[in-house]
Amino acid sequence: MSLQQSRDQLLGAYRQMKTIREFEERLHKEIMTGEIAGFTHLYSGQEAVAVGVCQHLDTEDLIVSTHRGHGHCIAKGCNVKGMMAEIYGRSTGLGKGKGGSMHIADFDKGMLGANGIVGAGGPLAVGAALSAKLDGKGKVGICFSGEGSINQGAVFEAMNMAKVINAPAIFIIEINGYSEHTGASYSVGGVDIAKRTEGFGLKTIEADGCDYHAVYDAMAELLDYSRSGNGPSAAVFNTTRFFGHYEGDPQNYREKNEVKDHRSTRDCLKKFCKDNLPSGIVTQSELDEIDASVMGLIDEAVTEARNAPPTPMEEMEADVYISYE
Ligand SMILES: Cc1ncc(C[n+]2csc(CCOP(=O)(O)OP(=O)(O)O)c2C)c(N)n1
């Protein structure tokens, strides 16, 4: 039995997941046009994790993301048009077009940043958790990361430090099966990631990352634990990614029909509909309305980004360097 959620909560969660999906599906097409510079890593397929986690958070809870960060940004409330403009390198972007896909951040929303360095989020999240602990308002610092990051020393140190200082840090590990092009069964020694996090003394829950309700329920328990002064915790979610590691990845390392099969059997949006339509708590026409409004938003985001001015050369260095004198 899943935790009960109101109709508004469920519709809100569906809207977020659908927004992430359409943002990514559209970007996949737009990148082919050659108009977008830089590397992009799409999150499509993993939406239930970002949304199931962030549905519990407010702007004072801080999250740290990865190179595959669009889903975390949207779920945490970042402005979708500002994100699209950022990816297009426009002056209207959330980082004035200087960071691109892998450096989207919005401190006002408690989104401390995507990050191109695998594993770098761990120490940042512990810092966020320490500041939350000192503030004493029951807030948390959350580190999203893939199973590749779990082999990084910085993440081990972060987990250890979080436990030693009893900080409300929560490590979310999204197992999408691969680190770049290497299967998790090869790259993760011992394979059982939950045992690793438990080894650091973190309360750990494993759940299906393609099931919004499973993620939401697991997070309710972990947040209750970490917000109440019990220290750090971890969630290990099995999920899948629908695109390559980066846009342009030929994906020769995947089974021929793997993505097609996952799109038909492990799609978190389909699962959400299957779980919530039969009871009538949400209706197909409500979901259709959301679909239409999301498509409209993404269309506008792309058109506005395309038409926005690029960041002028003379502003390129502004906000990049800081003087401590
Ligand atoms: C410290 C560091 N080492 C290597 C890389 C190159 N790299 C970029 S993404 C990636 C794989 C990360 O895999 P995972 O953490 O599972 O995240 P996913 O891509 O599956 O979301 C690697 C090795 C990097 N960016 N930073």
**What does the pLDDT look like over 238-253, one tens digit per residue?**
999 999 999 999 999 9
Rg (CA), the chain: 19
Q: How far does residue 238's CA lie from ligand 1's centre (Å)?
A: 17
Closest CA to 9 of 213, 202, 192, 170: 213
For residues 253 and 239, the answer to whether their CB atoms sit within 8 Å is: no
Which residue in the block uniquely carries the two structure tokens 């299906």?
A: 208
SS3 assignment, position 89: coil
Ligand 1 geometric centre to CA of 241 (Å):
14
Residue 320 in domain: no
pLDDT tens, residue by residue, 100-136: 999 999 999 999 999 999 999 999 999 999 999 999 9
* CB neighbours of residue 321 within 10 Å: 6
SS3 label, residue 207: strand
In the reported structure, the alpha carbon of residue 118 is separated from the centroid of ligand 1 by a whole-number distance in angstroms of: 5
Q: State the amino acid at position 216 in one-letter form.
A: Y
Q: Is residue 324 part of a domain?
A: no
Strands 178-179 and 169-175: unpaired
Going by pLDDT thresholds of 50, 70 and 90, the confidence category of residue 66 is very high
Q: How many CB atoms are located within 10 Å of the residue 122 CB?
A: 25
| pLDDT band, very low/low/confident/very high, at 27 (cuts 50, 70, 90) | very high
CATH of the domain at 43: 3.40.50.970
Reduced to 3 states (helix: H, G, I; strand: E, B; else coil), residue 208 is strand
> Could you tell me the maximum CA-CA distance found in the chain, to the nearest angstrom?
63
Residue 250 lies in a domain: yes
Decide if 66 is inside a domain. yes
Whether 79 is covered by a domain: the verdict is yes
What is the CB < 6 Å shell around ligand 1?
A: 66-68, 116-119, 145-149, 176, 178-180, 245
In a domain, 123, yes or no: yes
SS3 content of the chain, % helix, strand, coil (to 5): 50, 10, 40
How many structural domains compose the chain?
1
Which of residues 190 and 28 earns the better pLDDT score? 28
pLDDT at 322 over 90: no
Record the pTM: 0.97
197 is in which domain, residue-wise?
Answer: 7-315
Rounded to the nearest angstrom, the distance between the alpha carbon of 246 and the centre of ligand 1 is: 11
The reply to whether 321 falls in a domain is no
Ligand 1 atom nearest the C-alpha of 178 is 20
**Closest residue CA from atom 17 of ligand 1:** 146
Helix (H) or strand (E) holding 169: strand 169-175
Q: Distance from the CA of 103 to the center of ligand 1, in angstroms?
A: 15
Closest Cα to atom 25 of ligand 1: 117
Is 82 domain-assigned?
A: yes
**pLDDT tens profile 251-291:** 999 999 999 999 999 999 999 999 999 999 999 999 999 99
